[in-house]
Structure formats: structure tokens, C-alpha cells
Amino acid sequence: MISFEKNVLKIDGDSHDLEWPIRDAVEDLGKVYVLLDPDVYLADADYKAGRRAGVPAIRNLLGMSKLGERLWSAELPESSDYYHAFASTSPLVVYSFSSHKCEIDVTTGSILVQEDLK
């Protein structure tokens, strides 16, 4: 069972601290998929300064093991995009802010299929 509050993810009763607050988390076939909340990190002054200096955008969709180990952070459809909602977990499909629907490879975090919704 998974649950979360702020930046703490609980998997089967074990707590795992993440670097940013969690927007959503789901479990499927022994893996946990976590969406970090872009509303929080996009408003962070240090993050904004880093982005202006050329630091890559946060990859806010994480694939994790049931032990809380990070397996991957998902590829973004655009360099300054972020994911905001799950469409499904099997297959893993997420919506991005820039109007993309992406199917994510649950082994690598790579985009398998990208659909432009604009």
C-alpha cells in the first residue's frame, strides 16, 4: 500500500523522503510511480535561478521499487515541460503541461509513444 504527505512517500509502512512534495503516486505490478508537484518547485527561487543559468528542468515523474529505490526519472516531451497527471498505469500514460500524452517505458522511463493533444 502507498500513501504520501508533502514530500514523504510511504510504501508498505516504510517512509521515503523525496526532494520535492508529491502531487500523486500510484502502484502497479510491483512498482511505484510518483509525480513530484511542479507547482512547488516552479515557485522556488533557487530552482528558477538554476533554470535561468541553464540547469535542466526537473524530471518530475519517478519510477521506484517497492523498497523505495529510485529506478528512473522519466524523459520529458519538451525540455521545459513537466507531467501533471496520470492517464493510466497499465500501460503507464501521463499528461504533460504542454499538452502531450506520453506512454512511458516502465523499465527505463523513456517515452515510448508521444501524442500531441493541441
Q: Is 51 exposed, middle or buried (0-12, 13-18, 19+ CB in 10 A)?
A: middle
**Looking at the 3D structure of the chain, how many domains does it have?**
1
**Which CATH number does the domain housing residue 109 bear?**
2.40.10.480
The pLDDT value given to residue 118:
81
The pLDDT value given to residue 34:
98
The pLDDT value given to residue 98:
95
- Domain with 19, as residue range(s), is 2-116
pLDDT band at 100 (very low <50, low <70, confident <90, very high): very high
Give 11-70 pLDDT, tens digit per residue.
999 999 999 999 999 999 999 999 999 999 999 999 999 999 999 999 999 999 999 999
CA angle 70, 100, 108 (to 5 degrees): 25
CA angle 87, 92, 77 (to 5 degrees): 80
The pLDDT value given to residue 22:
98
Q: Coil, strand, or helix at residue 72?
A: strand
Closest Cα partner for 27 from 90, 103, 87? 90
